[in-house]
Amino acid sequence: MPKEVLTNVRITVNAVDLTANCSSVTIDQSAEEIDFTAFSTAGFREIAQGLKDATISATYFNDHDAGSVAATHQPLFASGGTFGVKVWPNAAGTIVYTMTARLFSNPSLAGAVGEANTTELTYRNAGTAGITRGTS
């Protein structure tokens, strides 16, 4: 059975390629659990999916150069508008995960003396499709 080691993930935010600054990515989808258990249960609960949520989280080595991490995220956070996030599990592959997102926080600086300035951003679902898996 094949296993996968992430070494060549690609990520774009609002069509800006931030791959060279990204060290970690998590794609997550979840659904509320709705209990439909009735008196005719036979001893087991009947659980269905309710409303769903989707997030993509990424950890970046931050910088403040034009067209890089801070410069890309600040206007997206300030506007409150939507933008696209795309993640390719293998930059050379054809599978891509896509989501229309919003930022609800924008940490711009984190670290201590002698440490890398890293920031973790969570892109929240802002569309009706959640995260779609497709080919590029």
Predicted model pTM: 0.91
Under the banding of pLDDT at 50, 70 and 90, the label for residue 66 is confident
Q: Is the pLDDT of residue 108 over 90?
A: no
- pLDDT recorded at residue 136: 83
Check whether 91 has a pLDDT greater than 90: no
Contacts of 133 (CB under 8 A, 6+ apart): 95, 96, 97
Q: Return phi, psi of residue 105, to 5°.
A: -150, 155
Distances in Å between the Cα of 70 and the Cα atoms of 9, 11, 21, 73, 126 are: 20, 15, 11, 5, 21
Q: Is the pLDDT of residue 99 over 90?
A: yes
**Token pair for 126:** 């802002």
Q: What's the CATH code, domain 10-135?
A: 2.40.30
> Confidence band (pLDDT; 50, 70, 90) for 58?
very high
Q: Where are the domains of the chain?
A: 10-135
pLDDT at 34 over 80: yes
